[in-house]
Amino acid sequence: MKNFQGYSTLIFFITILAIGFLSVDNYGTTNDEYTQRLSGFITLNYLGELFLPEITNKYTFDKNFPSFDNMPDQLRYYGGTILHTPLAFLEILFGIEDKKNIFIFKHYVYFTIYFLSLFCFFDILKKRYKDWKYGILGVALLFLSPRIFANSFYNNLDIPFMAFLLIATCFGLRFLNKPNKKYIFLFSLFSAISIDIRLIGILLPFFICTTFLINGFKKKKLKKTLLTLISVFLSTIFMIILFWPMLWENPIQNMINVILNLANHPLNLNVFFFGETISVTDVPWYYLFTWIFISTPILYISLFFLGILTFLTILFGINKRMKLKDLDINFMFLIFVPILIPIILGSTLYNGWRHIYFIYPYIVYFMVFFVFFIIEKIDLKKFRFIPQILLIIGLLDVGFWMIKNHPHQYVFFNKIFRKNISKSFELDYIAASYKENLDYLINFEKRDYYYIFNSSKTEIWYPLFSLKDSDRLKIIESKKEEAEYWITNYWFDDNIYDKNFFDKYEIVNEVLVDGNKINSLFKRKN
């Protein structure tokens, strides 16, 4: 039986890895990728000049890169250098020069980090429910989540943050059960990496350490508990500073600056929400709740709500069929506290709920929580197989949708909201859909140069990095009057053409998801 479990688990994860690696080249580049690459090179150059000036001077960095001291605030205080500085070094080490290959390489890295976190999620669920099948179920639900899947290739902050936080969670739970030096180090290490990517990662060690303190108090081992927590605190703080060079000169003041910048994040941007264009500073309190609900499969969101309801019935003593564990309570906090913080503080919110994608594994956890409860704690007798069949059908339905709409899973909306969704919410705000039409332009519209007008509010400059340098240089962004081609991702508004437009231009290629246009390429007639 153990061999069956082992081989099945191995085949399952190999399949996931193969799907991911075979999909990498299908995804385009986004503006955040270029921005964070810039951050990595600025920091790498700073470290080189600080520790290895003679060697550093031999390399020619982009002269347009600002110095470390003149780094824009949006890079200085946003985090992520722990990830993007090593990637900048590897880019030089491997001699990757073509911009397309640079970003493909990064996509492999991002997906690999995400893939490794799935092992940790499997471990968490397997240990919680003492059954490997629930680990497989949880990973399947997480992997077959359309928006998370697509973002795992190019989202270079939100998904790596989610992944490292999940890895930190795994070692944090091991630390709770066995607080030895190894788990103190690993928990502190991955907590520090998470915090250096996104400051809100501090919530995890806070909840884990609070649980450890409470348990120590119950066991009347307060002195030993406090000494252990001091070790965790000091090692985590040390590594946070070590991995974030911006903090080196003045750790306390610079960390205060980070917090203040995040609290008052300046951003002149609008969002499209329920058919209205509104400022990011005026989004309603239910913005995040809405986006989570509309962009998560109906089956998944139903399982989550039922899981939360089951959790509450157990918590308040109504349901005595199952006992709660520390991680159940911690994961509940890790879901709702990050949602409530921006609501209470009035933080800037935009681009759906990608900034809190990191809560999604804990949402999936409560999906599995309910499935476990129904199958293991309710006597369904001969009908025990029904929930399993329904679950498999639901997973297959989502999986087929992902295959059908590959590689545009990032614009997934559930069946309740899918119809005419472009009239109500933003679709391709990250501009990943440009890749398909740019590839079409290069492969089928044979020209020495392509004079193109981008009619969207999204900048086309960043998606162009999905092309080889030799092809990218053929694209010349032009004024609308001079353009041979028009391209758009319909951000905010699909009524972008005047009444005479189609007398002059014809459709060349169109990217559709569920009948909704997410990118169109037009060519001047004759």
474-477: long-range contacts, CB 8 A cutoff, minimum separation 24: 474/442, 474/447, 474/448, 474/449, 474/450, 475/438, 475/441, 475/449, 475/450, 476/449, 476/450, 476/451, 476/452, 477/452, 477/453
pLDDT attached to residue 394: 94
pLDDT digits (tens, 9 = 90+) for 355-414: 999 999 999 999 999 999 999 988 777 777 888 899 999 999 999 999 999 999 999 999
Is pLDDT of 1 > 90? no
- What's this model's pTM, rounded to 2 decimal places? 0.95
What whole-number distance in Å separates Cα of residue 197 and Cα of residue 357? 13
300-305: long-range contacts, CB 8 A cutoff, minimum separation 24: 300/141, 300/145, 300/363, 300/364, 300/367, 300/398, 301/414, 303/366, 303/367, 303/370, 303/371, 304/363, 304/364, 304/366, 304/367, 304/370
pLDDT attached to residue 85: 94
Is pLDDT of 57 > 80? no
Amino acid at 234: L
Give domain limits for the chain: 271-426, 434-524
370 vs 258 pLDDT, higher one: 370
Q: CB burial class (10 A; 0-12, 13-18, 19+) of residue 120?
A: buried
Q: Are strands 450-454 and 485-488 parallel, antiparallel or unpaired?
A: parallel
What whole-number distance in Å separates Cα of residue 123 and Cα of residue 108? 23
Q: Are strands 475-477 and 505-513 parallel, antiparallel or unpaired?
A: unpaired
pLDDT attached to residue 148: 98
pLDDT attached to residue 258: 83
pLDDT digits (tens, 9 = 90+) for 194-252: 999 999 999 999 999 999 999 999 998 999 999 999 999 999 999 999 999 989 988 99
Average the pLDDT over 491-504 and give the result.
73
Is pLDDT of 465 > 70? yes
Is pLDDT of 58 > 80? no
Average the pLDDT over 105-110 and give the result.
98
Per-residue pLDDT band for 266 (boundaries 50, 70, 90) equals: low
Stated length of the chain? 526
Per-residue pLDDT band for 438 (boundaries 50, 70, 90) equals: very high
Q: CB burial class (10 A; 0-12, 13-18, 19+) of residue 274?
A: exposed
Q: Average pLDDT of the chain?
A: 91
pLDDT attached to residue 110: 98
Confirm if 172 and 208 have CB atoms less than 8 A apart: yes
pLDDT attached to residue 522: 95
> Hey, which bits of 364-484 come out as E strands?
450-454, 475-477
Q: What count of other Cβ atoms lies within 10 Å of the Cβ of residue 67?
A: 10
Average the pLDDT over 419-434 and give the result.
89
pLDDT attached to residue 166: 98
Is pLDDT of 63 > 70? no
pLDDT attached to residue 349: 85
501 vs 362 pLDDT, higher one: 362
Is pLDDT of 62 > 60? no
